[in-house]
């Protein structure tokens, strides 16, 4: 009779710094694994601390506390399946990213991460020491190797582990989403399986942490690269997979095969989960935002309603004399369709008071963007007052196109604690609005149906800070702007590259100039959900004072 080995994958959502809470999650998963008669419970990379910890992990007291929770968890998990769980560990004065093995009430083994990622949002070479490649460990009749996250993107770690006797590879991960990431993961993991002819278990965590969202999508591959099991994206999931041992080694029996939604749906879900987790993990349960009647604030209101329920979303209209009647109607239409509260606070009175105060200094000067920015900043003051008074986090609503070129007022409409659409270009905002109007899912707490009136999507975008103002008075059409920005930011393209792609050189140079001079604004902006591999903050770090321009 063939040998059977049961492995439980715990695709869970830890909270950075909540050591006791993360340990309790691990123990609850262990109880499910025990009830499933599993031999091994796999938890993700750095699960005990949450991920990413950034410089928190450099605090020795934090690392020591994390290890105390690992030891306590080992004692709680006696008499059942062996546990694999990630966390930090000091050894000989060096800090390692470790995968701990817990068995019989003790920590019986450690695998240390060998390859440390040092690009995009990761700078682990600054935080951790490079560990030696670990040998396999035995669980029942199976010898298991544990390449930790980045280790599996290189061929040497898995190869060395298999040469040392590993029969199954367990890859614990903290791998955040960016567009196209799942295909990259699958490509690398298939390569490891084909090279080594052993099954591979890719286990990712889920949940939001600041700008990043870990999207799950864990999977199991058999020799030859055949998919045996796939877990859902974004959802917590605990699944037990059976492996059957024979003369040719171990083979995973067919398990659950979750289907993954299209990219547009995944990214809407990501923005919802990012906001939901950011609020939960920072202690907020309600939000407030300025609802202008435009498309950006409308989609943010929809995201917030889907994240925490419309009853927890306060929308505020802050009209001036430049606010059109149709904008007031559209704002009411959005709030009504979503079921959110809508308050109106006209800014004309306070604007007049500020104008009178500044008159002795401004009277001899022409009106310009200064007066426009005063309006935006007054709105920021009022919204922050509501946030302070009612304990509601203020959401800011600038899309990536605006954030990129500085088409936003610092200390004005940029004020806020989180920006759900910070990495969403304007053209994609329109696509996302159409998608949300046409689709509803169980994970949405907002209503179904058309929640963003078509007129909000179709009308020409305007900041409405002066008479007859349109965004295209100051910026190229968004289709052009986004095309150039995508090349300059995501592609690191030169001006010449953009011109070769068909864009007007003067327009490209203007966009490049705006991109560089707006760096100081982005440095002070709210965090937001990361959708691409070149999101503003950790993915793309440029100097604020920078005189270089591309003259190609």
pLDDT digit string, tens, across residues 116-146:
999 889 999 999 999 999 999 999 889 999 9
pLDDT > 70 in the chain, percent:
98
Residue 231 confidence class, pLDDT cut points 50, 70, 90:
very high
From the candidates 45, 167, 372, 392, which is the catalytic residue? Answer: 45
What pLDDT score does 469 carry? Answer: 64
Per DSSP, the three-state class of 155 is: helix
Q: Are residues 444 and 381 in the same domain?
A: yes
Is the pLDDT confidence value at 290 over 50?
yes
Confirm whether 547 is domain-assigned: no
Out of 467, 487, 509, a domain closes at 467
Spatial CB neighbours of 415, under 8 Å, sequence gap ≥ 6:
380, 383, 384, 394, 396
Please state the φ and ψ torsions of residue 72, each to the nearest 5 degrees: -65, -40
Kindly tell me if the per-residue pLDDT of 323 is higher than 80.
no
| Residue from 25, 77, 103, 113 carrying the catalytic annotation | 113
Alpha carbon distance 421, 536 (integer Å): 12
The token pair that represents 312 in the structure block: 């927890």
- Does residue 7 carry a pLDDT above 50? yes
- Catalytic site residue 113? yes
Worst-scoring range by mean pLDDT, 12-21, 223-232, 318-327, 485-494? Answer: 318-327
Indicate the Cα dihedral angle 457, 462, 464, 465, nearest 10°: 150
Averaged confidence pLDDT in the chain? 95
> 538 in a domain, yes or no?
no
Q: What is the largest CA-CA distance in the chain?
A: 95
Give the separation between CA 250 and CA 42, rounded to whole angstroms.
17
CATH of the domain at 421: 3.40.50.620
Question: Residue 1: its pLDDT value, please?
Answer: 38
Predicted pLDDT of residue 473: 72
The Cα–Cα gap between 154 and 173 comes to: 14
**What is the CB-side half-sphere exposure of residue 278 using CA atoms within 13 A?**
26
Q: Which residues make beta-bridge pairs with 118?
A: none
Task: Verify that 206 and 269 share a domain, yes or no.
Answer: no
pLDDT on residue 463: 65
Question: Is residue 347's pLDDT more than 50?
Answer: yes
Report the DSSP beta bridge partners of residue 23.
none
Residue 168 has pLDDT above 80, yes or no: yes
Q: 382-427: per-residue pLDDT in tens?
A: 999 999 999 999 999 999 999 999 999 999 999 999 999 999 999 9
Q: Are residues 20 and 122 in the same domain?
A: yes
Which of 225, 196, 256, 253 is closest to 11 using CA atoms?
256
Q: Is the pLDDT of residue 247 over 90?
A: no
Q: 95-109 pLDDT, tens per residue?
A: 999 999 999 999 999
Co-location of 115 and 192 in the same domain: yes
- Assess if residue 493 is contained within a domain: no
Domain membership flag for residue 320: yes
Q: Which of 25, 77, 103, 149 is catalytic?
A: 149
Is residue 535 a part of any domain in this protein? no
pLDDT at 2: 59
Domain boundary among 433, 467, 501: 467
Task: For residues 95 and 209, state if they share a domain.
Answer: yes
Q: Who contacts 477 (Cβ-Cβ below 8 Å, separation ≥6)?
A: none
Find the CATH number of the domain harbouring 167.
Answer: 3.60.110.10
Evaluate the omega torsion of the peptide bond into residue 52 and state whether it is cis, within 30 degrees of 0.
Answer: yes
Q: Are 280 and 191 part of one and the same domain?
A: no
Tell me, yes or no, if 149 is annotated catalytic: yes
Same domain, residue pair 402 and 448 = yes
Instruction: Let me know whether 194 and 330 are in one domain.
Output: no
479 is catalytic: no
Q: Are strands 40-42 and 3-11 parallel, antiparallel or unpaired?
A: parallel
User: What dihedral do alpha carbons 406, 407, 413, 419 form, nearest 10°?
Assistant: -70
Residue 124 to residue 115: CA distance in whole angstroms: 9
Q: In this structure, is residue 511 part of a structural domain? A: no
Sign of the four-CA dihedral 175, 179, 182, 183: negative
DSSP at 112: E
Q: Can you give the pTM of this predicted structure?
A: 0.95
Q: How many domains does the structure of the chain reveal?
A: 2
Residue 108 sits in the same domain as residue 223: yes
Check whether residue 287 and residue 347 sit in a common domain.
Answer: yes
d(CA 484, CA 497): 10
Q: What is the pLDDT confidence band of residue 221, given thresholds at 50, 70 and 90?
A: very high
Measure the CA–CA gap between 443 and 337, rounded to whole angstroms: 18
Task: Give CA–CA dist 212/55, Å, rounded.
Answer: 16
Residue 40, pLDDT above cutoff 80: yes
- DSSP designation for 434: H
Task: State pLDDT tens for residues 456-514.
Answer: 999 887 665 666 667 677 789 999 999 999 999 999 999 999 999 999 999 999 999 99
In this structure, the answer to whether residues 354 and 461 fall within a common structural domain is: yes
Sign of CA dihedral 187, 188, 189, 193: positive
Helix axes 295-308, 263-282, angle to 10 degrees: 70
pLDDT at 326 over 90: no
> Using one digit for the tens of pLDDT, what is the confidence trace for 147-156?
999 999 999 9
Instruction: Tell me what the mean pLDDT of segment 74-92 comes to.
Output: 96
Q: Is residue 490 part of a domain?
A: no
The domain of 380 spans 264-467
Number of C-beta neighbours around residue 235 at 10 A: 16
Check residue 332 and give its pLDDT. Answer: 93
Residue 336 sits in the same domain as residue 458: yes
Q: Note whether 219 and 227 are within 8 A (CB).
A: yes
With both helix axes pointing from N to C terminus, report the angle between 325-338 and 295-308 in degrees, rounded to the nearest 10.
20
In a domain, 545, yes or no: no
Residue 22 predicted with pLDDT over 50: yes
Residue where one domain finishes, among candidates 256, 273, 292: 256
């Amino acid at each position: 009779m063939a040998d059977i080995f049961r492995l439980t994958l715990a695709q869970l959502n830890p909270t950075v710094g909540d050591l006791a809470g993360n340990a309790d999650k691990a123990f609850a998963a262990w109880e499910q694994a025990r009830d499933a008669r599993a031999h091994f419970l796999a938890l993700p990379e750095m699960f005990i601390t949450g991920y990413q910890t950034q410089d928190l992990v450099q605090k020795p007291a934090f690392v020591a506390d994390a290890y105390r929770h690992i030891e306590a968890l080992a004692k709680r998990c006696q008499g059942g399946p062996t546990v694999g769980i990630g966390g930090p560990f000091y050894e000989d004065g060096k800090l390692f990213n470790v995968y701990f093995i817990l068995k019989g009430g003790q920590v019986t083994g450690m695998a240390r991460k060998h390859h440390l990622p040092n690009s995009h949002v990761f700078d682990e070479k600054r935080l951790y020491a490079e560990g030696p490649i670990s040998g396999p460990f035995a669980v029942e009749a199976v010898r298991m190797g544990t390449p930790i996250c980045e280790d599996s993107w290189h061929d040497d770690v898995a190869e060395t582990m298999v040469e040392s006797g590993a029969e199954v590879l367990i890859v614990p991960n903290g791998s955040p989403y960016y567009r196209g990431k799942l295909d990259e993961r699958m490509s690398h993991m298939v390569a490891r399986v084909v090279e080594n002819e052993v099954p591979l278990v890719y286990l990712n965590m889920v949940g939001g942490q600041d700008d990043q969202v870990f999207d799950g999508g864990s999977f199991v591959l058999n020799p030859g690269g055949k998919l045996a099991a796939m877990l859902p994206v974004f959802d917590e999931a605990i699944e037990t997979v059976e492996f059957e041992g024979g003369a040719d080694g171990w083979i995973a029996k067919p398990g659950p095969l979750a289907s993954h939604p299209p990219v547009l749906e995944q990214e809407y879900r990501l923005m919802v989960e990012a906001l939901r987790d950011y609020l939960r993990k920072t202690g907020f349960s309600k939000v407030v935002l300025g609802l202008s009647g435009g498309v950006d604030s409308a989609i943010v209101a929809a995201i917030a309603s889907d994240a925490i329920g419309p009853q927890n979303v306060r929308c505020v209209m802050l009209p001036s004399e430049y606010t059109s009647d149709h904008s007031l109607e559209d704002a009411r239409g959005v709030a009504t369709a979503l079921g959110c509260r809508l308050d109106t606070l006209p800014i004309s009175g306070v604007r007049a008071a500020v104008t009178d105060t500044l008159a002795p200094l401004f009277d001899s000067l022409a009106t310009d963007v200064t007066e426009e920015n005063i309006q935006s900043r007054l709105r920021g003051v009022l919204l922050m007052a509501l946030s302070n008074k009612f304990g509601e986090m203020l959401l800011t609503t600038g899309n990536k196109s605006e954030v990129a070129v500085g088409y936003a007022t610092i200390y004005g409409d940029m004020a806020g604690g989180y920006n759900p659409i910070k990495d969403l270009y304007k053209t994609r905002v329109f696509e996302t609005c159409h998608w949300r109007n046409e689709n509803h899912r169980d994970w949405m707490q907002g209503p179904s149906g058309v929640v963003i009136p078509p007129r909000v999507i179709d009308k020409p975008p305007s900041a409405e800070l002066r008479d007859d103002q349109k965004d295209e008075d100051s910026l190229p059409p968004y289709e052009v702007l986004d095309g150039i920005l995508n090349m300059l930011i995501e592609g690191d393209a030169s001006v010449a590259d953009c011109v070769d792609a068909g864009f007007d050189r003067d327009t490209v140079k203007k966009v490049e100039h705006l991109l560089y001079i707006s760096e100081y604004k982005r440095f002070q902006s709210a965090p937001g959900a990361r959708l691409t591999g070149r999101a503003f903050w950790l993915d793309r770090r440029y100097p604020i004072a920078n005189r270089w321009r591309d003259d190609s």
